[in-house]
């Protein structure tokens, strides 16, 4: 039996993207959620987030995936060299759950030319073009 885990995605793995269709074949959609930790989101043609107490929560999608698929996402995200991975508390409605999230710790990437601004609810949300 293959254990299932939760993953929070906020960018190029969201529903409607080519990468979602390719890499998230075994994923079961759980819901739309937000992080409990605040971040800054840089726009490099793809989103890159950094923890920042003065930042904003991230809006994204939660999926349940087989743990055996985690290595596929790790390779895609450049884990552990480009992105780090941790378990984050995610809010869906009035409930909280633990889900893996990819984020960056290399502060040199914070010198990005474009940052994503919060929506009217104070959430950072990557818009799929």
The residues assigned a catalytic role are 77
CB 115 within 8 A of CB 125: no
Which residue in 3, 2, 11, 6 sits closest to 83, CA to CA? 11
Q: Report the alpha-carbon distance of residue 44 to residue 122 in Å, rounded.
A: 21
Helices then strands, each counted (H, E), the chain: 2, 8
Q: β-strands 4-9, 57-66: how paired? A: antiparallel
Q: Report the alpha-carbon distance of residue 45 to residue 12 in Å, rounded.
A: 10
CB 41 within 8 A of CB 49: yes
């Amino acid at each position: 039996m293959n254990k299932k885990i939760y993953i929070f995605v906020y960018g190029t793995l969201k529903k409607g993207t080519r990468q979602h269709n390719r890499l998230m074949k075994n994923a079961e959609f759980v819901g739309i959620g937000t992080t409990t930790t605040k971040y800054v989101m840089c726009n490099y043609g793809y989103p890159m987030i950094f923890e920042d107490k003065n930042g904003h929560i991230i809006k994204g999608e939660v999926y349940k995936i087989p743990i055996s698929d985690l290595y596929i996402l790790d390779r895609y995200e450049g884990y552990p060299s480009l992105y780090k991975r941790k378990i984050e508390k995610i809010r869906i409605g009035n409930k909280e759950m633990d889900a893996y999230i990819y984020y960056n710790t290399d502060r040199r990437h914070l010198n990005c030319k474009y940052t994503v601004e919060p929506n009217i609810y104070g959430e950072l949300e990557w818009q799929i073009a």
